[in-house]
Amino acid sequence: MKYAIQPLFDVRCHHGEGPVWDPQAQQFYWVDLMQGQFFIGDWETGRVETHVVGQPLGVLALREQGGVVMALRDGFFTYDTHSRELKQVSPTEADVQATRFNDGAVDPKGRFWAATMTYDGTEPVGNLYCLNEAGAVQRHEQNLMLPNGMGWSADRKTYFFADTERHVVYAYDYDLETARLSNRRNFIEFGPEGFPDGLTVDTNDHLWVAMWQEGKISHFDAQGKKVEDIELPVSHPTSCCFGGPEMQHLLITTSQRPLSPEQKKAQPLAGVCLQIQTNTTGQPEPRYLG
Neighbours of 47 (CB within 10 A): 11
The tens digit of pLDDT for each residue in 235-275 reads 999 999 999 999 999 999 999 999 999 999 999 999 999 99
Q: What local confidence, expressed as pLDDT, does residue 1 receive?
A: 77
- Average pLDDT score, the chain: 96
Eight-state DSSP code of residue 266: H
Q: What percent of the chain is modeled with pLDDT above 70?
A: 98
The string of DSSP letters for 194-253 reads --EEEEEEBTTS-EEEEETTTTEEEEE-TTS-EEEEEE-SSS-EEEEEEETTTT-EEEEE
Active-site option among 197, 205, 221, 229: 197
Q: What local confidence, expressed as pLDDT, does residue 96 receive?
A: 52
Eight-state DSSP code of residue 83: T
R_g of the chain computed on alpha carbons: 17
The tens digit of pLDDT for each residue in 76-126 reads 999 999 999 999 999 876 555 578 899 999 999 999 999 998 888 888 999
- Checking if the pLDDT of 8 tops 70, the result is yes
Q: What local confidence, expressed as pLDDT, does residue 11 receive?
A: 97
Distances (CA, A) of 104 to 45, 194, 210, 227, 262: 28, 21, 15, 25, 32
> Taking residues 216-238, what's their average pLDDT?
98
Q: What local confidence, expressed as pLDDT, does residue 44 receive?
A: 96
Domains detected in the chain? 5-277 (2.120.10.30)
- Is 197 a catalytic site residue? yes
Contact criterion met (CB below 8 Å) for 208 and 217: yes
